[in-house]
A and B are shown apart, each in its own frame.
Chain A
Amino acid sequence: MFRPVKLTRLTIQAPEDQISAVMAILGDLRLLHLIRVEETHLGHLGYVAHIDTSLLEHYDSLLARANRLLRDLGPTDPSSGIRKVPRPDKAVFRLEEDLARIETEALEPLERKKKAKNAISEHEALIARLQLLEPAGIDLDRLDDLKYVTWRAGLIPEENLNKLEQSLVDTHHTLIPIGRKERRAVLLAMSLKEDEEVLLRALKSAFCDPLELPPGIHGTIEKALDRLSDELEHLKTELAGLDTEGAELTRKYGTRLKYLREEILLARQLLKAQAKFGQIDHTYLLTGWIPVALFEELKKRIIKATSGNVLVDQVDPKDIKEVRSGILKIPILFNNPMLIRPFERLTTLYGTPSYEEVEPTVFLAVSFLLLFGMMFGDMGHGAILCGIGYYVFRKMYRYIDYGIILMECGVSSMIFGLLYGSVFGMENLFPALWMHPMDEINRFMVMSAFLGIGVISLGLILNLINVIRQHRYGELLSTSGLAGALLYWLGVGLVARYLLSGGLSPFEVIFAKVAAGALIILMILQRPVRAVLAQRRKEEKWRHLPPGFGGTILESFIEVLDDLLRYLANTVSFVRVAAFALTHAGLFIAVFSLADMVRGVHGGGLFYWVTLIIGNVFIIALEGMVVSIQTIRLEYYEFFSKFFRGGGKPFQPLLEEE
Chain B
Amino acid sequence: MILAAARYAYPNAKVRALRSRRLTAQDRHFLLEARDFSSFLAYLATTSYGPVLPDLEDGVSDPGILERRLARSLMEDYAKVARSLRGKRQQELVLALFSRFEAENLKVLLRAMFSGLEKQAVSHLLYPLGKLSALPWDDLWACNNPAEIADLLIRNPFGQALRHAIPQYNVQGRLFPLEMALDLSCFQRLRQAIFGLRSRSDRKAAKRILGPYVDILNISWVIRLKIHYGLSHEEIVNYSLPGGDLLTLSHLHRLARAEDISSFLEQMPRSLQKEVQEVHEWDDFHLHLETWFLRLLARFFMGPPFHIGIEIAFLLEKEMELTSIITLLEAKAQGLSSEEAEKRLPEQLSMVAYV
Measured CB to CB, the residues of A under 8 A from B are 155, 157, 159-160, 162-164, 166-171, 183-184, 198, 201-202, 204-210
What sequence of 0s and 1s flags, for each residue 147-167 of chain B, a beta carbon within 8 Å of any chain A beta carbon? 000000000000010001101
Q: What are 14 A-to-B residue pairs whose CB atoms are below 8 Å?
A: A166-B237, A166-B253, A167-B237, A167-B238, A169-B250, A170-B233, A171-B234, A198-B232, A201-B232, A201-B235, A205-B235, A207-B181, A209-B168, A210-B167
Asked if B240 and A163 sit within 8 Å, CB to CB, the answer is: yes
Contacts of B231 on A, CB cut-off 8 Å?
205
Contacts of A168 on B, CB cut-off 8 Å?
234
**Interface check B242, CB cutoff 8 A:** yes
| Cα–Cα, bound, A276→B168 (Å) | 53
Could you tell me the distance in whole angstroms from the C-beta of B256 to the nearest C-beta in chain A? 9
Contacts of B257 on A, CB cut-off 8 Å?
170
Asked if A204 and B239 sit within 8 Å, CB to CB, the answer is: no
Contacts of B232 on A, CB cut-off 8 Å?
198, 201
- B250 partner, pick from A166, A184, A201, A207, beta carbons under 8 A: A166
- B165 partner, pick from A164, A201, A207, beta carbons under 8 A: A207
Place the interface of chain B in its size category.
Answer: 20 to 34
| Cα–Cα, bound, A440→B290 (Å) | 86
| Cα–Cα, bound, A167→B253 (Å) | 7
| Cα–Cα, bound, A167→B238 (Å) | 7
Asked if B164 and A201 sit within 8 Å, CB to CB, the answer is: no
Q: Among the interface residues B177, B234, B240, which one has the most CB atoms of the partner chain A within 10 A?
A: B234
Contacts of B181 on A, CB cut-off 8 Å?
207
Could you tell me the distance in whole angstroms from the C-beta of A289 to the nearest C-beta in chain B? 41
- Which B residues, 34 to 88, have Cβ-Cβ distances below 8 Å to chain A? none
Asked if A163 and B168 sit within 8 Å, CB to CB, the answer is: no
| Cα–Cα, bound, A183→B231 (Å) | 27
Asked if B168 and A164 sit within 8 Å, CB to CB, the answer is: no
Could you tell me the distance in whole angstroms from the C-beta of A150 to the nearest C-beta in chain B? 15
Asked if A202 and B235 sit within 8 Å, CB to CB, the answer is: yes
- A205 partner, pick from B167, B238, B252, B253, beta carbons under 8 A: B238
Besides A159-B242, A163-B240, A205-B235, 16 more A-B contacts (Cβ < 8 Å) are A155-B167, A160-B238, A166-B237, A166-B250, A167-B234, A168-B234, A169-B253, A201-B234, A201-B235, A202-B234, A204-B171, A204-B177, A204-B235, A207-B164, A207-B165, A209-B167
Contacts of B350 on A, CB cut-off 8 Å?
none
Given contacts A166-B253, A205-B239, A207-B177, contact A198 B234 (CB under 8 A): yes
Could you tell me the distance in whole angstroms from the C-beta of A129 to the nearest C-beta in chain B? 12
**Interface check B188, CB cutoff 8 A:** yes
Asked if A207 and B168 sit within 8 Å, CB to CB, the answer is: yes
Could you tell me the distance in whole angstroms from the C-beta of B242 to the nearest C-beta in chain A? 7
Q: Among the interface residues B160, B171, B237, B249, which one has the most CB atoms of the partner chain A within 10 A?
A: B237
Contacts of B238 on A, CB cut-off 8 Å?
160, 163-164, 167, 202, 205-206
Could you tell me the distance in whole angstroms from the C-beta of B157 to the nearest C-beta in chain A? 11
Contacts of A162 on B, CB cut-off 8 Å?
249
Asked if A163 and B167 sit within 8 Å, CB to CB, the answer is: no
Shortest 6 CB-CB distances between A and B: which pairs?
A: A205-B238, A209-B167, A167-B234, A205-B235, A167-B237, A166-B249
**Interface check B271, CB cutoff 8 A:** no
Contacts of A167 on B, CB cut-off 8 Å?
233-235, 237-238, 253
Could you tell me the distance in whole angstroms from the C-beta of B267 to the nearest C-beta in chain A? 14
Q: Among the interface residues A162, A184, A207, which one has the most CB atoms of the partner chain B within 10 A?
A: A207
Could you tell me the distance in whole angstroms from the C-beta of B170 to the nearest C-beta in chain A? 9
| Cα–Cα, bound, A159→B184 (Å) | 10
Contacts of A169 on B, CB cut-off 8 Å?
250, 253
Asked if B249 and A204 sit within 8 Å, CB to CB, the answer is: no
Q: Which single residue of chain B is at the shortest CB-CB distance from A212?
A: B171
Asked if B235 and A208 sit within 8 Å, CB to CB, the answer is: no
Given contacts A204-B171, A204-B172, contact A163 B237 (CB under 8 A): yes
| Cα–Cα, bound, A123→B234 (Å) | 35
Could you tell me the distance in whole angstroms from the C-beta of A158 to the nearest C-beta in chain B? 10
| Cα–Cα, bound, A105→B234 (Å) | 58
Asked if A209 and B164 sit within 8 Å, CB to CB, the answer is: yes
| Cα–Cα, bound, A162→B248 (Å) | 11
Could you tell me the distance in whole angstroms from the C-beta of A282 to the nearest C-beta in chain B? 44
User: By DSSP majority rule, is chain B's interface helix, strand, loop, or mixed?
Assistant: helix
Could you tell me the distance in whole angstroms from the C-beta of A201 to the nearest C-beta in chain B? 5
Measured CB to CB, the residues of B under 8 A from A are 160, 164-165, 167-168, 171-172, 177, 181, 188, 231-235, 237-240, 242, 249-250, 252-253, 257
Contacts of B171 on A, CB cut-off 8 Å?
204, 210
| Cα–Cα, bound, A167→B307 (Å) | 36
Could you tell me the distance in whole angstroms from the C-beta of B112 to the nearest C-beta in chain A? 23
Contacts of B242 on A, CB cut-off 8 Å?
159
Could you tell me the distance in whole angstroms from the C-beta of B35 to the nearest C-beta in chain A? 47
| Cα–Cα, bound, A530→B252 (Å) | 95
| Cα–Cα, bound, A208→B160 (Å) | 14
Q: Which single residue of chain B is at the shortest CB-CB distance from A202?
A: B234
Could you tell me the distance in whole angstroms from the C-beta of B168 to the nearest C-beta in chain A? 6
Contacts of A206 on B, CB cut-off 8 Å?
238
Contacts of B233 on A, CB cut-off 8 Å?
167, 170
| Cα–Cα, bound, A198→B256 (Å) | 14
Contacts of B188 on A, CB cut-off 8 Å?
159
| Cα–Cα, bound, A170→B242 (Å) | 21
Q: Which single residue of chain A is at the shortest CB-CB distance from B170?
A: A209
| Cα–Cα, bound, A210→B167 (Å) | 8
Contacts of A184 on B, CB cut-off 8 Å?
164
Contacts of A171 on B, CB cut-off 8 Å?
234
| Cα–Cα, bound, A210→B238 (Å) | 16
| Cα–Cα, bound, A184→B166 (Å) | 14
- A208 partner, pick from B168, B237, B250, B252, beta carbons under 8 A: B168
Could you tell me the distance in whole angstroms from the C-beta of A166 to the nearest C-beta in chain B? 4
| Cα–Cα, bound, A167→B237 (Å) | 6
Contacts of B177 on A, CB cut-off 8 Å?
204, 207
Contacts of B250 on A, CB cut-off 8 Å?
166, 169
Contacts of B172 on A, CB cut-off 8 Å?
204
Could you tell me the distance in whole angstroms from the C-beta of B137 to the nearest C-beta in chain A? 25
Asked if A163 and B249 sit within 8 Å, CB to CB, the answer is: yes
| Cα–Cα, bound, A502→B178 (Å) | 88
Could you tell me the distance in whole angstroms from the C-beta of A152 to the nearest C-beta in chain B? 12
| Cα–Cα, bound, A171→B257 (Å) | 13
Contacts of B168 on A, CB cut-off 8 Å?
204, 207-209
Contacts of A207 on B, CB cut-off 8 Å?
164-165, 167-168, 177, 181
Contacts of B167 on A, CB cut-off 8 Å?
155, 207-210
| Cα–Cα, bound, A164→B235 (Å) | 9
Contacts of A204 on B, CB cut-off 8 Å?
168, 171-172, 177, 235
Q: Which single residue of chain B is at the shortest CB-CB distance from A199?
A: B234
Could you tell me the distance in whole angstroms from the C-beta of B261 to the nearest C-beta in chain A? 21
Could you tell me the distance in whole angstroms from the C-beta of B253 to the nearest C-beta in chain A? 6
Asked if A157 and B164 sit within 8 Å, CB to CB, the answer is: yes
Q: Which single residue of chain A is at the shortest CB-CB distance from B237?
A: A167
Could you tell me the distance in whole angstroms from the C-beta of A31 to the nearest C-beta in chain B? 40
Contacts of B240 on A, CB cut-off 8 Å?
163
Contacts of A210 on B, CB cut-off 8 Å?
167, 171
| Cα–Cα, bound, A171→B231 (Å) | 17
Could you tell me the distance in whole angstroms from the C-beta of B185 to the nearest C-beta in chain A? 10
Contacts of B253 on A, CB cut-off 8 Å?
166-167, 169
Contacts of A208 on B, CB cut-off 8 Å?
167-168
Q: Which single residue of chain A is at the shortest CB-CB distance from B257?
A: A170
Contacts of A159 on B, CB cut-off 8 Å?
188, 242
Q: Which single residue of chain B is at the shortest CB-CB distance from A208?
A: B168
Contacts of A198 on B, CB cut-off 8 Å?
232, 234
| Cα–Cα, bound, A168→B235 (Å) | 10
| Cα–Cα, bound, A160→B233 (Å) | 15
Contacts of A157 on B, CB cut-off 8 Å?
164
| Cα–Cα, bound, A210→B170 (Å) | 11
| Cα–Cα, bound, A159→B239 (Å) | 12
| Cα–Cα, bound, A209→B150 (Å) | 15
Contacts of B160 on A, CB cut-off 8 Å?
183
| Cα–Cα, bound, A157→B172 (Å) | 18
Q: Which single residue of chain B is at the shortest CB-CB distance from A184?
A: B164
Contacts of B249 on A, CB cut-off 8 Å?
162-163, 166
